[in-house]
Amino acid sequence: MKNSTSYYAKILSEKGLKASHQRIMVLDYLDSHRCHPTADMILSALKQDMPTLSKSTVYKTLNAFVDANLLREITIEDNEIRYEYNLMDHGHFKCESCGQVYDFTIDFGLLKTKDLDGFQINDRNIYFKGVCKSCLDNEQNNV
């Protein structure tokens, strides 16, 4: 656990959410790991310590967190929603070989276009796909 239970409980109550054990565990997981898991990955990871945790609780928890602006949803592939506890502007890279999602910094101020003059922009997303350095290195070693 990266921070104390009361630390996460405070965050939750500030957002008007009850600080249940399950919610604290989910929030802690996302804060500690800083990865980009799907709902199913979170469930699998937390089931080890909470065998009774249910899939629907994980889904409801994540949706509540997104509604409360505590998490961001990431949509790279159509068949999976990923979540992250990092509200700073940044881009995502998904490796087509190993499936891992990497963050990268990017200057969103450069993303200007006249085509959207008069539009209200609420959310900006960038994602790349390709092969990560680690997979490329492995390929070379195996050839």
- C-alpha radius of gyration, the chain, whole number: 18
**Cα-Cα-Cα-Cα dihedral of 41, 47, 49, 51, to 10°?**
170
CB of 112 to its own copies, least distance (A): 8
- Min dist CB 49 to DNA, Å, is 11
57 binds DNA (CB under 7 A): yes
How far apart are the C-alpha atoms of 65 and 85, rounded to whole Å? 10
Residue 109 to residues 72, 105, 113, 116, 125, Cα–Cα distance (Å): 20, 12, 11, 14, 13
Report whether 93 contacts 130 (CB < 8 A). Answer: yes
Q: Which region, judged by CB under 7 A, interacts with DNA, from 48-56, 90-98, 105-113, 126-134?
A: 48-56
Residues 7, 31, 38, 102: which binds DNA (CB under 7 A)?
Answer: 38
64 binds DNA (CB under 7 A): yes
88 binding its own copies? (CB under 8 A): no
Tokens 């800083």 map to which residue?
34
- Regarding 113 and contact with its own copies (CB under 8 A), the answer is yes
Structure tokens at 93: 């890279």
Q: Which residue type, as a one-letter code, is found at position 110?
A: L
Binding site for its own copies (CB under 8 A): 73, 75-81, 91, 93, 96, 102-106, 110-111, 113, 115-133, 136
Binding site for DNA (CB under 7 A): 9, 12-13, 17-23, 38-40, 50, 52-57, 59-61, 63-64, 78-81
